[in-house]
């Protein structure tokens, strides 16, 4: 057993310097808007946006045409009422429109397309929790059960989905291997074009009778979907499917006995007071309509496809909706944490898929996972994103020509400028509220913030003994010089009391940064971050040496720090 512990300890030391165990490196900032980091980020965002807010015919130049593109951008923290960053632009082409708004603000309504999938999954989680993720969809959809029975004994995996294997969890995480979207965009709508391109005519029964004009009813949808071919086996690789979320909508209706429209209105929009959100077209005078209503898809009725892409919303409402997710207003904290996790990986190591999250791993000074969802429909494009590490979200809503490319450009600015600044804002607050000298009797511990992650132990002595040297001697491979030990928040908190005597205890764990690896540098194994394997590795009396607990006063300042293994509590004596 001891050799195994040494092996794990060595794995940690073989990893890169300052390799944390995942998650935030400081507590989420509570007053980010007042930090110098966010103030600089706000200025840099505005300046960078203005530099690309121009017309350009060069395909290699990222630009947003201000004459034909309207948009709203908000970045917000759950701890502050006002946005950290906001920007609204109205295209010159719509400023004199007689239909729709002439000026974009936080209440302007856009179509949000596939962001609607987040609303759909949230409704499912509110109704059943994630236990339903493991249930077969045939339990709730009689059409699927009939298809299973019809194919029994004559199943062809290339031509038919194994519907008996498909679970609700596979639908919401794009892992069912289903067709993308039955009826919509089928090229049989343009037979002359396809004939000229060399494609043969198709049989009448293979031509979808519905799509967007008119939308499919339930019977038409199942008749069409059950005749489509699978893309991949279930739970193999994620394949995007809008049809999967039409099925989830039907499942929700079976579970609740209500229409999806009534369900989303009552359980989300009314409950959260989202007055500028709707599952069907709102009044024209509150929306941005960047052209003719029928050409922009502003007035397109999504009918049974509303769960996959039919919702309308505003920047302010999307902020309120996202805050409700991050603050566990609608789900328990445990369920929210399970929801904000990857379900599958893609070919890109920095991009994973959740339910229905599109998860980007942004690498600046460290890896930060952003839980996003994009949406596109007609002349509209949108993106929402959540950063659980920072208690922050963002919304991007675009209407006009080249809306999708504008959304990506705006998303790059947010993720490239604002998100890294949040770590710096968190460092500023940690320096003010947590760093400093803690002492009791003959024991002293000093915490500092530097350019690295976490709170660094700069000094730690007890009864004349240098504890950092003691920790170094316990390593399987001691380092020369002073050991680098940093504290990171675990997310565990407990609040006791109220009023002037109220306090909160906050848990941290320390991580020791070891020397460079002994083997070939930057190999596929030696460069990995193994710290998660070693947390709690060394214990003294059933208490890990890496466990630390702060007591925080009502003003947010640390009152004391307890290195749990030493069974002491050290008062904060100075910052």
Residue ending a domain, choose from 426, 459, 487: 426
CA atoms within 13 A of residue 83's CA, in its CB half-sphere: 23
Q: Per the domain annotation, does 216 fall within a domain?
A: no
Q: Per the domain annotation, does 478 fall within a domain?
A: yes
- Tell me how far the alpha carbon of residue 211 is from its chain's centroid: 30
Q: Per the domain annotation, does 102 fall within a domain?
A: yes
Residues 485 and 412 in one domain: no
Q: Per the domain annotation, does 452 fall within a domain?
A: yes
Residues 6 and 70 in one domain: no
Q: Per the domain annotation, does 196 fall within a domain?
A: no
The total number of residues written for the chain in this structure? 575
Residues 302 and 155 in one domain: yes
Q: Is 469 in a helix, a strand, or coil?
A: helix
Digit-coded pLDDT (tens) for 297-353: 999 999 999 999 999 999 999 999 999 999 999 999 999 999 999 999 999 989 999
Residues 350 and 237 in one domain: yes
Residues 251 and 379 in one domain: yes
Reading the block at residue 7, the tokens are 């092996």
Residues 393 and 336 in one domain: yes
Residues 13 and 158 in one domain: no
Per the prediction, the chain carries an average pLDDT of 92
- Helix 243-256 to helix 218-225 angle (10° resolution) is 130
Domain carrying residue 559: 2-27+434-574
Residue ending a domain, choose from 406, 426, 446: 426
Q: How confident is the model at residue 516 (pLDDT cuts 50, 70, 90)?
A: low
Digit-coded pLDDT (tens) for 262-301: 999 999 999 999 999 999 999 999 999 999 988 999 999 9
Q: Per the domain annotation, does 214 fall within a domain?
A: no
Residues 377 and 511 in one domain: no
Residues 9 and 69 in one domain: no
pLDDT reading at 104 higher than 80: yes
Residues 154 and 266 in one domain: yes
**What is 216-274 written as a DSSP string?**
P-HHHHHHHHTTSPPSS-TTSS----SHHHHHHHHHHHHHHSS-HHHHHIIIIIITTT-
Residue ending a domain, choose from 396, 426, 456: 426
Q: Per the domain annotation, does 218 fall within a domain?
A: no
DSSP type of residue 11: H
Residue 371's domain is classified under what CATH number?
Answer: 3.40.710.10
Residues 38 and 133 in one domain: yes
Query: Does the bond joining 450 to the residue before it have cis omega, within 30 degrees of 0?
Result: no
pLDDT reading at 10 higher than 70: no
Residues 155 and 172 in one domain: yes
Q: How confident is the model at residue 478 (pLDDT cuts 50, 70, 90)?
A: confident
**Count of domains observed in the chain:** 2
Q: Per the domain annotation, does 355 fall within a domain?
A: yes
């Amino acid at each position: 057993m001891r050799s195994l512990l040494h092996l794990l300890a060595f794995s940690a030391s073989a990893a890169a310097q300052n390799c944390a165990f995942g998650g935030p490196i400081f507590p989420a900032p509570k007053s980010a808007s007042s930090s110098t980091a966010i103030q600089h980020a706000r200025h840099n965002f505005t300046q960078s946006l203005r530099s690309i807010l121009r017309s350009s015919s060069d395909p290699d130049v990222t630009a947003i045409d201000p004459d034909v593109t309207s948009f709203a951008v908000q970045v917000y923290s759950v701890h502050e009422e006002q946005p950290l960053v906001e920007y609204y632009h109205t295209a010159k082409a719509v400023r004199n429109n007689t239909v729709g708004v002439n000026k974009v603000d936080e209440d302007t309504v856009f179509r949000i397309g596939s962001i609607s999938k987040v609303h759909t999954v949230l409704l499912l989680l509110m109704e059943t929790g994630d236990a339903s993720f493991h249930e077969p969809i045939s339990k709730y959809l009689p059409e699927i059960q009939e298809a299973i029975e019809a194919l029994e004994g004559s199943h062809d995996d290339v031509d038919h989905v194994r519907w008996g294997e498909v679970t609700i969890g596979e639908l919401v995480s794009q892992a069912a291997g289903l067709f993308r979207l039955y009826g919509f965009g089928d090229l049989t709508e343009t037979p002359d074009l396809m004939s000229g391109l060399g494609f043969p005519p198709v049989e009448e029964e293979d031509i979808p009778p519905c799509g967007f004009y008119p939308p499919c009813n339930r019977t038409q949808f199942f008749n069409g979907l059950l005749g489509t071919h699978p893309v991949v086996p279930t739970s193999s690789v994620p394949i995007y499917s809008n049809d999967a979320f039409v099925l989830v909508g039907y499942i929700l209706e079976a579970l609740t006995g209500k229409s999806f429209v009534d369900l989303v209105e009552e359980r989300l929009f009314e409950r959260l007071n989202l007055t500028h959100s709707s599952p069907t077209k709102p009044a024209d005078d509150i929306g941005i309509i960047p052209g003719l209503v029928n050409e922009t898809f502003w007035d397109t009725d999504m009918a049974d496809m509303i769960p996959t892409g039919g919702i309308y919303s505003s920047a302010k409402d999307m902020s309120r909706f996202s805050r409700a997710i991050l603050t566990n207003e609608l789900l328990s904290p445990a369920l929210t944490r399970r929801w904000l996790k990857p379900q599958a990986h893609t070919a890109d190591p920095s991009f994973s898929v959740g339910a229905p999250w599109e998860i980007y791993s942004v690498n600046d000074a460290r890896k930060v996972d952003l839980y996003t969802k994009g949406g596109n429909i007609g002349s509209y494009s949108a993106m929402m994103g959540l950063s659980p590490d920072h208690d922050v979200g963002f919304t991007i809503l675009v209407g006009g020509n080249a809306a999708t490319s504008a959304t990506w450009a705006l998303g790059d600015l947010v993720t490239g400028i604002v998100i890294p600044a949040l770590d710096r804002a968190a460092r500023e607050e940690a320096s003010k509220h947590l760093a400093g000298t803690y002492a009791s009797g003959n024991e002293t511990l000093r915490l500092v913030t530097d350019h690295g992650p976490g709170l660094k132990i700069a000094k730690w002595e007890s009864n004349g003994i240098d504890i950092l040297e003691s920790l170094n001697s316990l390593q399987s491979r001691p380092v020369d010089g002073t050991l680098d030990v940093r504290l990171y928040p675990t997310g565990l908190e407990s609040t006791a009391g109220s009023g002037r005597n109220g306090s909160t205890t906050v848990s941290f764990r320390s991580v020791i940064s070891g020397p460079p690896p002994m083997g070939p540098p930057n190999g596929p194994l030696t460069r990995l971050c193994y710290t998660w394997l070693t947390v709690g590795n060394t214990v003294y009396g059933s208490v890990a040496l890496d466990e630390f607990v702060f007591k925080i006063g009502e003003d947010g300042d640390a009152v004391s720090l307890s290195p749990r293994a030493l069974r002491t509590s050290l008062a904060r004596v100075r910052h």
